[in-house]
Amino acid sequence: MQGYDELMTHLDAGKKLYKAHCTGCHGIFTKGKKDIPNFSRIQLDNYNSNFLKKDPKNHAVAAKLSKDQLNDIIIFLTFIKKDKRE
């Protein structure tokens, strides 16, 4: 069950990081917000690739995170998606 435990660790970390850094604009953890956006796989890949390229147009919050932190958030967002369409 190591794979499952590792996944759950990343999901928990991603949820906490998302709540701390992202919900001001995107999320259910802020009063008045009903849903976390249903980011597409392409949108999530773009966040990650822009981060890796150190693109100055990258999302300001994502640019302040470590690679591992951003990865945990992306894992969280991938697994909470309501719809798996591209």
- Which is more confidently placed, 52 or 13? 13
Is there a domain that residue 72 lies in? yes
Yes or no: say if 75 and 18 are a contact pair by the CB < 8 Å rule. no
Taking CA atoms, 38 is separated from 17, 27, 46, 77, 86, in Å, by: 17, 10, 14, 8, 11
Is there a domain that residue 85 lies in? no
For residue 67, report the phi and psi dihedrals to the nearest 5 degrees.
-60, -40
Number of structural domains (the chain) is 1
Question: Is pLDDT of 12 > 60?
Answer: yes
Q: Each residue of 14-47: pLDDT tens digit?
A: 999 988 888 777 766 655 556 777 888 998 998 8
Is there a domain that residue 86 lies in? no
Give the pair of three-digit tokens for residue 17: 């990081």
Is there a domain that residue 63 lies in? yes
Nearest 10 degrees: CA dihedral of 7, 79, 29, 62? 80
The whole-number average pLDDT for the span 64-81 is 90
Domain that holds residue 33: 2-80
pTM: 0.78
